[in-house]
Chains A and B, each alone.
Chain A
Amino acid sequence: MASELIQEQQTRTYWQDVWQRLRRHRVALVALIVFGLIILYSTGGPLFSSYSVSKTDLRSRLIAPSTEHYFGTDELGRDIALRIMVGGRVSLFVGFSVALVSLLIGVVIGSTSGYFGGHLDSVLMRFTDIMLSIPSLPLLLILSRYGGGSVWSIILILSVFSWMGLARIVRGTILSIKQRDFVEAARMTGARNGRIVFRHILPSTLAPVIVNATLTLGFAIIAESSLSYLGLGVQPPTPTWGQMLIGAQQFMETAPWLALIPGLFLFVTLLCINFLGDGLRDALDPKMTLQN
C-alpha cells in the first residue's frame, strides 16, 4: 500500500516536472498554443462554413480576400478558408497517423533488435540500413501510384519510410539500459521477457521516442505536402495544403493569395512542430538538452 502510494507520487512528479519545464520554454509554449489553434481551426472550422469544399462556382472565381471570403476564392470559385481547414484536417491526420504507425514499427523493430541481440539484431539492423540507404523520395514517388492516392495508402507508404530513425534510437537506448541493475533485478524476480521490455525498459526510451515522433510528424507533413505538390499525393477533390499550391502557381501574378495562404499555413504549422519538438526534448529529459 505504502509502496504504491510512493510510486504514484513519483510518476506524477515526473510529468509535473515535464510540464513545468515545458512551461518555462516560452517559444515551445507559444508553438503549442498556435499548433492547438490550427488543429482546432481545421477540425472545427468546417462546421461553421456555409460553403462547399468541392462545388465550383464560376461566377466567384479568384475573389481577393474580402469580408465574404476572408481568404479569397480559388480559380474554380471555391472558398479558400474552407479548403484550408479541410486540407489541414487531411495533412494533420496523415502526419499524426504516420508518426503513430512509424512509432509502432520503430519501437517493435528497435526493441526486438536491441533486447534479443545476436543474429536477429544483425538481420534487423542490416534491413534498417538498407532502408536508410535507399533514396526515399523517388521510391515514394513510385509507391504513391499504388493506392490510387487514397489517404490510407499515403499514410502506409510514408510510414514504411519513416520508422528507421526511431528503430535505431530505441535499439541504442535499450542496449545501454538492458545491462543496468534494475533490469537484472527484474530478471531475478522471474519476470518474463515481455514484462521486462514493456514494464522496465520501454518506459526509459519514452523521452527520445516522443521527441523523435515529433520530428516524424513534421517530416510526414512535409512529405505529404511534397507528394501532393507533385500531384502524387492524396487526390482531388480532397484538398491538401500541398495540392492547393499546385493550382496556385499559374495565378501567382493575378492572385498571389492562392499560394500565400496554404504556404503560410504549412510554414507556421511546421515551425510550431519544430519548436514544440525542441521544447519537449528539453522538458522530457534535461540531460538531452542540446549544447548550443
Chain B
Amino acid sequence: MTRYVLGRFAGIIGVLFIVSIMIFLMIHTIPGGPFDAMPTTSEFREIPEHIREKLMAKYGLDKPLYVQYFRYMWAALRGDFGISFRYGEPVTDFISRSWPATAQLGLSAMAIGIPIGIGLGILAALRPNTWLDYLTNVVVITTFVTPVFVIAIMSIIIFAVILKWLPSGGWGEPKQWILPTFVYALGQIGGMARFTRASMVDAMQAEYVRTARAKGLRESAVVMRHAFRSASLPLVTLLGPMVVNLLLGSFFIEAIFRIPGIGGQITLALYNRDYPVIMALILLWTFAIAIAYLVTDLLYGVVDPRIRVGGTM
C-alpha cells in the first residue's frame, strides 16, 4: 500500500516536471513579452527600449532559457514562485488573496450540485419514462452540449435583464452569489445525474438487488444500501477531478460574473505574459488533478473492497 502510494507520487512528480518544462518553453516562446507595452489608464503605451531591457534584466529574463528554468524550479521547490510582473506581489500572496472567492463559489456549487445531481439520477433511474426522468434528461443533455459561457449569458439575460430578480455580476453581497453559483451547480447536476442514472439502471437489474428484494428488505434499503452502494463506484472516479476543477475555478464563470477569483486570472495573466503567475497556476492545477486521481484510486478501495490495493501489490 505505502509502496503503491509512493510509486504514484513519483509518477506525479515526473508529470509535473514534464508539464513544467513544456509550459516554461511554451510561454517563453509565444510572441510578445511581459514588458512590450505598459498598460496606462485606457490604452497600451509602448515602453522605451532601454527601460524594457532594464526590466527584463531585473527579472532575469535576459538569461538563456535553461538558466531561467533552473532558477525558477530551484526557487519553486523551496516554495518561492516568483513575483508577479503585473501586480508586483509574490505569486503565493496573489493566489492566497484571490483563492477564497473561487473556493466559496466552488464549494457552494458542489454542495448544491452533487446531492441534487445524484438524487435526480437515482429517481430518474427508478422511475424511467416519467416527467422526472424527462426533466433529468433535459438537464443532462443541455448541460452536456452547451458551453458554460452560453448558459451563463442566457441565465443573465433571463434572470438579470428580463426578470430583474438578480444582479448580473460582482462579488460583494450574497445576492450576487446566487446566479453564478446556480449556473456553476447546473453543470455539476447534469454530470452527476448522467452518470448516476446510467449506473443505477445497471445496478437495479443486478442479481443481488433481486436477492435483496427477495429476502424482504424495504425498497429504500434495497435502493440505497444495495443498488446505490455499487452504483456509486463510477461516481467516485468522476468526483475527484470535479472537486479540483471546482476549487480551482472556472475561467468562464469568474470572467462573466466578474468574480475576483483565480480562474479568471489565468486568462489575464496570459494576456499580460505574466510568466510567474501562469507557471504557478498551471503547476498547481496539474498537481491538484494528479492528487485527485490518486485519492480517487485509493477511495475505490474504500467503496469497493474487491479492488483494495496493497494486498496483491
Contact = CB atoms under 8 A, between A and B. Distances in A.
A133 B15 contact: yes
Interface in B133-179: 141-142, 144-147, 149-150, 153-154, 156-157, 160-162, 168
B150 A266 contact: yes
A222 interface: yes
Nearest to A266: B150
A135 B267 contact: no
Interface string B191-203: 0000001100110
Interface stretch (A13-21, A40-48, A205-213, A244-252): A244-252
Contacts of A271: 141, 145
A6 to B, nearest CB: 40
A95 B278 CA distance: 28
Contacts of B128: 292
B149 A252 contact: no
B39 interface: no
Interface string A229-268: 1111000000000100100110011001001100100110
A168 B142 CA distance: 27
A274 B285 contact: no
B307 interface: no
B153 A248 contact: yes
Contacts of B145: 218, 222, 267, 270-271, 273-274
A145 interface: yes
Interface stretch (B26-34, B63-71, B221-229): B26-34
A177 interface: no
B153 A263 contact: yes
Interface string A135-156: 1011101110110100000000
A137 B154 contact: no
Contacts of B290: 133
Given A133-B290, A141-B266, A226-B147, A252 B15 contact: no
Interface string B264-301: 00110010000000100110011001100100000000
B289 A260 contact: no
Interface in A141-197: 141-143, 145-146, 148
Given A133-B15, A135-B289, A256-B161, A226 B31 contact: no
Given A134-B286, A142-B30, A292-B201, 18 more contacts: A133-B293, A134-B19, A138-B282, A139-B23, A141-B267, A141-B270, A146-B31, A225-B147, A230-B267, A231-B267, A252-B156, A252-B168, A259-B153, A267-B142, A270-B147, A292-B125, A292-B128, A292-B197
9 contacts: A134-B286, A139-B282, A142-B26, A146-B30, A225-B147, A230-B251, A249-B256, A267-B142, A274-B145
* Closest CB pairs A-B (n = 8): A270-B145, A145-B30, A263-B150, A274-B145, A138-B282, A259-B153, A256-B157, A142-B26
